[in-house]
Amino acid sequence: MVALPGLLLGLATSLCAQRNRTAATPDDGFFDLPHYSIEKAVHIDLGKGNYLELELPADDQLSRFKNFDSLLLVFLIDMKPFKDSLADPLSGKRIDYRIDTAGRKMVRIRETRSPGTTFLLGENDPSLLRLRQDTVYILLAEKEDRFSRLTIVINRYGDLESWIATGINAKMEGLETGKENRWAGDVNPRHGRTAYLAKDPSITMKKDSIYHKAGINDYLEITSIVSLQNYKNYLTPSVDLGFAIGHRKKDFVHEFGLYWEPLFLFGSDTHGRLQTYRNDLLVFHYAFDVAGTLKDPLAPVGLNTNISLGYFIRRSGDFFEKDSWRLTACEVKLLRNRILLQPALYFNNIFKNVTPGLRVCYKAF
């Protein structure tokens, strides 16, 4: 039984595919989209490896990008003071350009160099070959927690000026769908197949954005929780093993779970020898949380509406009376949902002999 918690931690696996969304630097969150804030995301292929991606929190934000030429011209004018620093033909460039609701503009520039140099060999002298593309992210705020993002991926940043008046405005206007302009193919983001605009197949629906609202779907999760709690003057470890089913409805997530939880207490037997007593609970769990732009699910600290009711299906020793229960309500989440603090009440029958406690849980994914 001592090795059981470690074994369960190694075997517990979540059935939901998750991505690592941890920010690389503190300012990444400032130049990024709020999680699960996007309703519409499209990919526009411009040929030769160049493309645009547009991510919108709602269809009514499309109008802000219809005049692509003007938006690009404003960006290039603002970037003129950095022209010399961006002239290196070998470095890969990433530019984050943000405009907030007050019209203030902020820019972050990152340049990276490949550890090696690549050449194209031919009959004449070797030609320097550049394999890294440049990326520009234009982030436009509508509200404090609501942004649209235009991503520009281009083979060479210096060619960006030549994109003005090349017909991209028409592609942006063509994103307005209607009776004469519809999506073809499979538009259901769960099916994994790509939908495209019937009038312009170079425009496809983007489904793999980690910020897309489709990123939260119904799910089945198998997991284990290792916890330490106090009961009267005892400090008792326990292990929860079970499953949870999550159901999303609009901006809310409902989670229902069922767990088996062996709880271990230590005492002396009639001969004074140390004895381990295992008491098993069958735990029913319900959690209610918000999604979308209402809250960042990756916040390091949070409060969750989590209710669980456990019934002692096996009792050992004289610690718990017959028909004993444990109730927990609400929890504080730390370290991105890995550490949970849950107040608890132990009682028997209908709230007789109530004993308060506190559970400190580590959730293994």
Write the secondary structure of 194-258 as one string of H (helix), E (strand) and C (coil): CCEECCEEEEEECCCCCCEHHHCCCEEEEEEEEEEEEECCEEEEEEEEEEEEEEEECCEEEEEEE
**194 vs 244 pLDDT, higher one:** 244
Residue 12 has pLDDT above 60, yes or no: no
pLDDT 10s digits, 129-182? 777 899 999 999 987 678 999 999 999 999 999 999 999 999 998 888 766 678
Q: Which residues contact 252 (CB under 8 A, 6 or more apart)?
A: 288, 289, 290, 291
Q: What is the pTM of this model?
A: 0.56
Cα–Cα distance for residue pair 160/153, rounded to 1 Å: 10
pLDDT of residue 239: 94
Strand, coil or helix: 64: helix
Cα–Cα distance for residue pair 192/304, rounded to 1 Å: 32
With b for 16 or more beta-carbon neighbours within 10 A and e for fewer, the 195-213 pattern comes to bbbeeeeebbbbbebebbb
Percentage with pLDDT > 90 across the chain? 46
Question: How many CA atoms lie less than 13 Å away from 38 in the CB half-sphere?
Answer: 26
pLDDT 10s digits, 209-242? 556 554 456 788 888 899 999 999 999 999 999 9
* Count of beta carbons in the 10 Å neighbourhood of residue 355: 15
**272 vs 138 pLDDT, higher one:** 138
Assess contact for 347 and 322: CB atoms under 8 A.
no
pLDDT of residue 216: 55
Residue 291 has pLDDT above 60, yes or no: no
Strand, coil or helix: 11: helix
Residue 275 has pLDDT above 50, yes or no: yes
Tell me how far apart the 2 most distant CA atoms of the chain are, in Å. Answer: 94
pLDDT of residue 182: 82
pLDDT of residue 91: 87
Task: Give the confidence band of 286 by pLDDT, cuts at 50, 70, 90.
Answer: very high
Cα–Cα distance for residue pair 201/316, rounded to 1 Å: 68
pLDDT of residue 115: 75
Quick one: average pLDDT of 284-291?
82
Task: Give the confidence band of 53 by pLDDT, cuts at 50, 70, 90.
Answer: very high
Quick one: average pLDDT of 334-344?
85
- Output the CA torsion sign for 253, 256, 262, 264: positive
Mean pLDDT of the chain: 82
Q: Does domain 4-19+215-364 have CATH number 2.40.30?
A: no
Structure token digits, residue 117: 């140099």
Strands (E), the chain: 40-47, 50-56, 92-99, 105-112, 118-120, 127-129, 134-143, 146-154, 183-184, 196-197, 200-205, 219-231, 234-249, 252-268, 274-290, 301-314, 324-334, 339-348, 352-364
Assess contact for 169 and 69: CB atoms under 8 A.
yes
Domain boundaries, the chain: 4-19+215-364, 40-209
pLDDT of residue 5: 39
Residue 193 has pLDDT above 90, yes or no: no
pLDDT of residue 37: 79
pLDDT of residue 240: 93
Structure token digits, residue 283: 């735990």
**Residues facing 191 on adjacent strands:** none
Assess contact for 115 and 92: CB atoms under 8 A.
no
Residue 344 has pLDDT above 70, yes or no: yes
Structure token digits, residue 33: 């989209």
Give Cα separations from 267 to 154, 336, 347, 365 (angstroms).
69, 36, 21, 32
pLDDT of residue 164: 93
pLDDT 10s digits, 19-37? 334 445 667 778 888 877 7
Quick one: average pLDDT of 40-68?
92
Asked which of 110-119, 181-190, 311-320 is least confident by mean pLDDT, the reply is 181-190
pLDDT of residue 18: 35
Cα–Cα distance for residue pair 111/340, rounded to 1 Å: 40
Cα–Cα distance for residue pair 13/15, rounded to 1 Å: 6
* DSSP state at residue 53: E
With b for 16 or more beta-carbon neighbours within 10 A and e for fewer, the 321-348 pattern comes to eeebbbebeebebeeebeebebebebbb
pLDDT of residue 213: 55
**159 vs 8 pLDDT, higher one:** 159
pLDDT of residue 4: 39
Cα–Cα distance for residue pair 272/275, rounded to 1 Å: 9
